Amino acid sequence: MPIYVVLGNWTDQGTRDFGGAVERANGFRELVEQAGGRVRELVWTMGEYDFIIVAEAPDDETAATLVLRVGAAGNVRSKTMPAFDADQMSAIIARTG
């Protein structure tokens, strides 16, 4: 299943409701699972980003839908990148000839 890394920041609205961060994260996990994916890791960070998520989704369209739904709530802004695990990277390397 495709892997995605999400780098996120709280908006002003999300910062005002920092006390709900864990509850919102649990809601996100449920949303991903309902869409057929899973959250591998979700951690809060200090520095340039407020949180990092590593998740799986069935396809790019599903991942985009999830990101849009979460962004529409107004608590976060995010940057999402496709990612590869070791097996996927080995297959990519093998295809180079």
Q: Report how far residue 6's alpha carbon sits from residue 20's, in angstroms, rounded to the nearest whole number.
A: 19
What is the band of 56 on the pLDDT scale with cuts at 50, 70, 90?
very high
Helix (H) / strand (E) element for 81: namely strand 76-83
Q: Report how far residue 95's alpha carbon sits from residue 6's, in angstroms, rounded to the nearest whole number.
A: 27
CA distances from 58 to 2, 23, 61, 72, 87 (A): 6, 24, 8, 21, 17
What is the band of 97 on the pLDDT scale with cuts at 50, 70, 90?
confident
pLDDT at 62: 97
Q: What is the CATH number assigned to the segment(s) 3-94?
A: 3.30.70.920
SS3 54: strand
What is the band of 74 on the pLDDT scale with cuts at 50, 70, 90?
very high
What is the C-alpha end-to-end distance of the chain, expressed in Å?
24
